[in-house]
Amino acid sequence: MTAITFADFENIDMRVGRVIAVENFPEARKPAYKLTIDFGSKIGTKKSSAQITHLYTKDELINRRVVCVINFPPKQIGPFISEVLTLGAADTNGNVALLGFDRENIPLGSRIF
Q: What local confidence, expressed as pLDDT, does residue 111 receive? A: 96
Per-residue pLDDT tens listing for the chain (113 residues) = 899 999 999 999 999 999 999 999 999 999 999 999 999 999 999 999 999 999 999 999 999 999 999 999 999 999 999 999 999 999 999 999 999 888 889 999 999 98
* Residue among 113, 50, 56 nearest 84 (CA): 50
Element (H, E) at 59: helix 58-61
The domains found in the chain, sorted by start residue, are 13-98 (2.40.50.140)
pLDDT of residue 102: 86
Q: Quick check: pTM over 0.85?
A: yes
Please name which of 46, 52, 53 lies closest in space to residue 68, comparing C-alpha atoms: 46
* pLDDT of res. 27: 94
